[in-house]
Structure formats: C-alpha cells, structure tokens
Structure 1
Amino acid sequence: MAIPDRVEADLQRYIVITGCSGGGKSTLLAELSRRGHAVVEEPGRRIVAEETRAGGVALPWLDMAAFARRAAEVALADRATVPAGPSPVFFDRGLIDAAAALEHATGEPAPVALGAAHRYHRRVFFTPPWPEIYRRDGERRHNLASAIAEYDRLIDAYAALGYEPVILPKLPVADRADFLLGALCR
C-alpha cells in the first residue's frame, strides 16, 4: 500500500530528539526554536506540571503506567495539532518514548503497535548520557542510572521499529544544533 504524499512529507518533517534524561534535549530544542524552527515540548514535563498542580497521580514516581498512557495521548495530540507545511518540526521526545515507557511499566508491547501507525523522520536524534550536566529537579526525580537504563530501552525500541538512531555529540548547544541540522541533509 502506498503512503499518501502528504503523509510521506510529514514523516520527513517530524523529527524526534530523544535520549537520556538530563542529556541536553530541552536546551537543544530551545536553540532550534531560537533559530526559527518549530518545536514541540516534551509531553512528560507538561504532564508532571499538570498532575502536580491538580494533585493527580499520573506521575512517573507514583504510577508509571498511568503516566506513560497519558504521555502517549499527549504525543498523539501533539502530532495532530502540528500545522501543515514543509518546515521541519522538532519533537522533544515522541510517541515511541511513551510506548517504550508503557511497555517497561506493564509489559504491554506498545512500541510495535503505536510505532507502526505513527511514524517520524527515519533519523531519530539521541542525547547520550552526559553525567557532567545531569541534574535532578522537581520533574526529574530519578537518578542517572535509571536515566541510562531508559536511554538503552529507547535505543532498542527505535532501532527495532526501523529508525536510524543518530547519537548527538557532547558539544556546546550551537554546535550540537549545527550537527543535527547537517545530519538531516545527508
């Protein structure tokens, strides 16, 4: 079955930046935004802020399965609200991240089902573990070892779905953005 041209064009412009928690994703996305690119903020941080405000329990340290299901819903909604056009859109994490978290929490094989139906650009950009910049905060309560375990699961999940993982070098943010944008053109 052929993919409609519009869908194929969206696949090429929906670009995921994922990887190790605390590895510089948000900083990189802020740099891409500063350069005029469309960016979509990480679902997880938005969910944590909302759940904390509302006294909810869909938090990774309280109910990981509920958090992951909610992250999948938000990631799908993010995709649906991206305006049409030829310009790239950079996502701070994607639907596969939420599906991998759900699989880890429940054993449900979510990445395969969700990943086949909702594709992104074939290259997925990973921030590797970077202990020198890793920090816990109110929304990131897990330790570096847990972040690295998640990173390993994400590499495996994206690769299993046919994506090409591209590991971002540990560089100053402007150089990292240049690297990413250059890698998209190859």
Structure 2
Amino acid sequence: MNNRFVLISGCSGGGKSTLLAELSARGHAVVEEPGRRIIAEELATAGKALPWVDQAAFLRRAIDMALADRISAAAHEGWVFFDRGLVDAASALETLTGEPVLRPLCTSQRYHRRVFMAPPWPEIYVTDPGRQHGFEAATAEYHRLMTAFPALDYDVINLPQTAISARADFVQACLGNVA
C-alpha cells in the first residue's frame, strides 16, 4: 500500500480534474487521468483504443498506464493525487469482459486507504470530444465504483458538491496526518 498515493475517483463530469488542478496549484503532485491521455493520443494518431470504438483495448491501455503512473509517482515527495487509477480501469474491464482482473491487480497495487469520490452532479456534467457518454452512463460508472472500492477495503469519502477551493480544503482536512 502506498499511503501517499490518493485517488480521486467517481462520476465522469463530477469535477475531479478541476479538483486536481486546484490541488496542483496548492503545490501537490498530481497524475492526470489515464483515460483522457489515452483518448488524446488515440485521436491524434487515428487509433482504435477509444472507449466508443474498442472499449476493452482502451481499458487495457488504461490499466497499463495506471501501473506506469504509480511507478513514476514514487519519485514525488508528499501526497500524490491521482485523477482515477488502477481500480477504475480494472473494475470497468472486469464488468465489460468478465475477466477477473480487479482483485489480482488491485490488492497488490494499493493506494491510500481513503478514496475520494465525485458523486453524480448533473448541474456541471457536460460531454466533450473525450467524454461522449451521457449522464446516465456516468452515474452507472459511479455506482460500479461505489461497489468496487469498498470490496477492496477502501474507505470511500464522497466529495461535497461545493466550490472547488472548499472541495480541496475538504480533501486536505480529511487526510490531515492520516497515513
């Protein structure tokens, strides 16, 4: 378990990336969402590992990237905040294909025991070229993750639907000196 690696997960379009930008502005190391980076690469190269073209290939790339991100993040001091991570990709792949990947991958590659979840927030949800699924699919994703994280013995903390600075304050207060 890496006590310095903190996951920000939850509903697509729930404000995770905005929260990570605020935490970065406060001097914390952050790791961008694997899915967004993969989509940008695939669109730039006319690749097929896109969630709306070949979701299994996309999720396998996300798993590989999340594992590589953990290795790279070890070089940082202090808290490292991840915009999604291994559990997100592995639980999605297991749900999609039935392959039992979640427990084997995620029990040996732990994050901080507290995981922060962005709940569905319809008032801020938008689609874009990298997020083509609707709010209903995003909400289903949230519910899948709300089952996956506790099953792996994580303490799940829902983020408040409030201003970004207050959200960042909340995360920092919840972590406090907890290791």
- With normalisation by structure 1, the TM-score equals 0.93
1:18 equivalent in structure 2: 9
Which of 81, 88, 96 matches 1:97? 88
Is structure 2 residue 57 aligned with structure 1 residue 58?
no
Measure how far apart 1:83 and its partner are: 3.9
RMSD: 1.0
Deviation string 1:49-94 (CA, Å, 9 cap, x unpaired) is 0011111111101111100000000000000111435400000001
Which residue does 2:132 correspond to in 1?
141
Report SS of the residue matched to 2:22. helix
Matches within 5 A, 1:1-186: 11-84=2-75, 86-185=77-176
User: What is the identity, as a one-letter code, of the residue corresponding to 1:144?
Assistant: F
Q: What amino acid maps onto 2:65 in structure 1?
A: V
Tell me whether 97-106 or 77-86 shows the greater mean CA deviation. Answer: 77-86
Q: List 4+ stretches of structure 1 deviating above 6 A.
A: none
Q: Which amino acid is 1:35 matched to?
A: R
**Quick one: which amino acid aligns to residue 51 of structure 2?**
P
CA drift of 1:105 comes to 1.5
AA paired with 2:92?
A
Partner Cα separation in structure 1 for residue 123 and residue 5 of structure 2? 30
Letter paired with 1:163: Y
Extract unaligned runs of 5+ from structure 2.
Answer: none
Aligned partner letter, 2:53: L
| Structure 2 partner of 1:3 | none
User: For structure 1, which segment, 81-90 or 53-62, has the greater mean C-alpha deviation from structure 2 after superposition?
Assistant: 81-90
Residue matched to 1:5:
none
Give me the identity figure in percent. 58
Query: Aligned to 1:154, what secondary structure does the other structure show?
Result: helix
Q: Which has the higher helix share?
A: 1
